[in-house]
Structure formats: structure tokens, C-alpha cells
């Protein structure tokens, strides 16, 4: 069974600081990887996704993530965070094999950005 581990439960940063949120997954086959964000009071929104090709993926609002297959990792980065990035961030994986329709989520990382 696949699983996703997010290393940080709560991250607190000042505005303009750089962000990196860790995500590791366990699955031996081909995977599709996602980062979703949940802003306070809003529903889960897709930030970015990786299916194949360039392992450096750019998403909305200046976020990017790098897929490192050898490390089973898909870390999320942003060079300079803003107060409006305060939210909960979820890494998720689905595999490309048969029966691979379900998203498996990590427990989430809460990001608080201090003005």
C-alpha cells in the first residue's frame, strides 16, 4: 500500500522567508504526485502536479516542487512567502498502475506566515 509522509506538522515563517516543505512517499511503481492547499475557510485547491517529464514542476502563486525519484520525494518550495500563503498544505500520491484511482494524502503541514 502506498503512503505519504510530511515531515513538518507546523511551520512558522516571516514574510519574505524561503519555504521548503518535505514530502516522501512509499510506492515502488510509477506515481503521480500532487500538492494541494487549503486556505482558512476554503476548500482544497490544486497547487501543482507531476505526472511525467521535467521533474521540476511549477504551480500557481510562485510555488514549485521537485520530484526526486531516487529519494521518493516531492518537496514543495517557494523562494519568498507572503502572509497570504498561510494555509495547510497536503502532499498526495496516486500510482499509475491498475487500481490506482485513489489519492493517498499526507497528514498535512500547517504554514503560518508572520507579517
Partner 1 sequence: ETGVTQSPTHLIKTRGQQVTLRCSSQSGHNTVSWYQQALGQGPQFIFQYYREEENGRGNFPPRFSGLQFPNYSSELNVNALELDDSALYLCASSWGERETQYFGPGTRLLVL
The site for partner 1 (CB under 8 A) is made up of 4, 32, 34, 36, 42-46, 49, 90, 92, 94, 96, 99-108
Specify the residue for cell string 503521480.
32
Q: Using alpha carbons, select from 60, 32, 56 the residue that is nearest to residue 45.
A: 60
- The residues that bridge with 79 in the sheet, in sequence order, are none
Q: Which is nearer to partner 1, 82 or 109 (CB)?
A: 109
DSSP β-ladder status, 87-95 and 109-114: antiparallel
Smallest distance, Å, CB 80 to partner 1? 27
- Specify the residue, 42 or 70, whose C-beta has the smaller distance to partner 1: 42
Shortest spacing between CB 100 and partner 1, in angstroms: 6
CB-wise, 72 or 105, nearer to partner 1? 105
- Contact 47/61 with Cβ under 8 angstroms? yes
Amino acid at each position: 500500500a502506498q503512503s505519504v509522509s510530511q515531515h513538518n506538522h507546523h511551520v512558522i515563517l516571516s514574510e519574505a522567508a524561503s519555504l521548503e516543505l518535505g514530502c516522501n512517499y512509499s510506492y515502488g511503481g510509477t506515481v503521480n504526485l500532487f500538492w494541494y492547499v487549503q486556505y482558512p475557510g476554503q476548500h482544497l485547491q490544486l497547487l501543482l502536479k507531476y505526472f511525467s517529464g521535467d521533474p521540476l514542476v511549477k504551480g500557481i502563486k510562485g510555488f514549485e516542487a521537485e520530484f526526486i525519484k531516487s529519494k521518493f520525494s516531492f518537496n514543495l518550495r517557494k523562494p519568498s512567502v507572503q502572509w497570504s500563503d498561510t494555509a495547510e498544505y497536503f502532499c498526495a500520491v496516486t500510482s499509475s498502475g491498475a487500481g490506482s484511482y485513489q489519492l493517498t494524502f499526507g497528514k498535512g503541514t500547517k504554514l503560518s506566515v508572520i507579517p
